[in-house]
């Protein structure tokens, strides 16, 4: 959208910079859709509410629309969650969890739990892949003193048994995949409703 | 002085209650308006204000429309305009129409129940 005066174009460009900064985590199509819809809204608002000169009209329209950091936060958090749920992509999932963790106390706790399970899932995968390189440090250990440990263990006490050997790698890869898939499916059950007016 | 303060506090309570009611029924009203006709974002805000007196902070309508779209209750399409700035129109889906019927039935039931309750002797 091109306005007539330089000052109005500069103000609009600054507003769009803020918008682009907020919607940066989203897919290109989503970013384009949001930008086009905001341009449409600003155009309609300016056409219906002329305030004398163009700059004042634009400022009035932007003020009525609100701070993009406020009203776009929910859109970005929900669109990112939607993208993560659809793609199972770990980068989108991490971004979606980070964006949604600050959306209210109850939802924050749910996303904290989901985020923690993802970290455990990645830790399982990482230790599984490292097992062949550190066969005496990584494993599933128990002993008569009540030790039950999985993963990287230092200072292994005498009498400690490692149960899986090189089976640790396939078992923990399967465990990591299961945790990842189940957690992502559970993510779909978290409601996204939040209305602000 | 004390009575004036009490009245002021009551008004604050009523205002908060009104705000909560508005939040609760906003999605319902948007669905009713979109069931009547296809609307673009700014037009929807205008209708909302004209028909219900809701002066919604304009930007907040978009997260709501986005959510209704994710729930597949509404859908959208772009329409080219002579001005060169296209409009994004929203319209109801069949699923949205079905959900709206359930919401309307519940709204009527709730309204009747509250009306009956308020008419009962003290």
Contact check, Cβ <8 Å, A82/B70: yes
Beta bridge partners of A141: A149, A162
Interface with A, mutate which of B63, B64, B70, B75 (most A CBs under 10 A)? B63
Inspect the interface and report whether the beta carbons of A45 and B56 lie closer than 8 Å.
Answer: no
The string of pLDDT tens digits covering residues A127-136 is 999 999 988 8
ipTM, interface predicted TM-score of the complex = 0.82
DSSP B15-60: HHHHHHHHHHHHHHHHHHHHHHS-EEHHHHHHHHHHHH-----GGG
The answer to whether A67 and A83 are in contact (CB under 8 A) is no
Name the residue facing A195 among B27, B86, B87 (closest C-beta): B27
Give the residue ranges of chain A where pLDDT is below 50.
Answer: 195-197
Per-domain residue ranges of chain A: 6-85
Q: Pick from B43, B58, B78: which is nearest to A64 by CB?
A: B58
**Predicted pLDDT at B79:** 95
Predicted pLDDT of residue A193? 53
**A193 reaches B (C-beta below 8 A):** yes
**Whether CATH 1.10.10.10 fits B20-119:** yes
A chain contacts of residue B42, beta-carbon cutoff 8 Å = 40-41, 44-45, 48
Residues forming a β-bridge with A121? none
Nearest to B61 by CA among A85, A44, A1, A47: A44
Model confidence pLDDT, tens digit, residues B72-107: 999 999 999 988 899 999 999 999 999 999 999 999
Residue B35 makes CB contacts below 8 A (sequence gap 6+) with B92, B96, B97, B100
Mean pLDDT, consecutive 10-residue stretches, chain B (122 aa), reads: 74 85 88 96 92 83 90 95 92 97 96 90 70
């Amino acid at each position: 959208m091109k306005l007539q005066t330089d000052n109005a174009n500069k103000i609009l460009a600054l507003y769009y910079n803020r918008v682009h900064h907020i919607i940066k985590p989203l897919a290109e199509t989503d970013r384009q859709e949001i930008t086009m819809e905001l341009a449409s809204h600003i155009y309609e608002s300016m056409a219906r509410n002329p305030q004398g000169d163009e700059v004042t009209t634009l400022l009035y329209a932007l003020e009525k629309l609100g701070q993009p950091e406020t009203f776009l936060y929910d859109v970005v958090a929900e669109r990112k969650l939607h993208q993560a749920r659809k793609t199972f992509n770990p980068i989108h999932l991490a971004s979606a969890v980070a964006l949604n963790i600050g959306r209210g106390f109850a939802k924050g706790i749910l996303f904290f739990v989901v985020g923690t399970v993802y970290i455990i899932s990645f830790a399982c995968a990482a230790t599984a892949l490292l097992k062949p390189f550190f066969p005496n440090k990584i494993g599933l250990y128990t002993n008569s003193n009540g030790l039950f440990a999985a993963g990287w263990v230092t200072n292994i006490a005498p009498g400690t048994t490692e149960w899986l050997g090189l089976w640790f790698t396939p078992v923990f890869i399967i465990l990591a995949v299961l945790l990842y898939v189940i957690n992502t499916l559970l993510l779909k059950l978290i409601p996204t409703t939040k209305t602000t007016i | 002085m004390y009575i004036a303060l009490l009245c002021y506090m009551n008004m604050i309570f009523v205002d908060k209650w009104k705000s909560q009611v508005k939040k609760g029924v906003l999605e319902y009203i948007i669905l009713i308006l979109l069931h009547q006709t296809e609307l673009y974002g700014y037009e929807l805000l205008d209708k909302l204000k004209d028909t219900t007196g809701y002066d919604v902070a304009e930007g907040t309508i978009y997260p709501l429309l986005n959510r209704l779209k994710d729930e597949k209750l509404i859908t959208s399409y772009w329409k080219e305009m002579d001005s060169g700035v296209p409009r994004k129109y929203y319209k109801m889906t069949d699923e949205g129409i079905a959900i709206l019927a359930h919401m309307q039935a519940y709204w009527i039931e709730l309204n009747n129940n509250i009306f009956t309750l308020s008419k009962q002797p003290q």
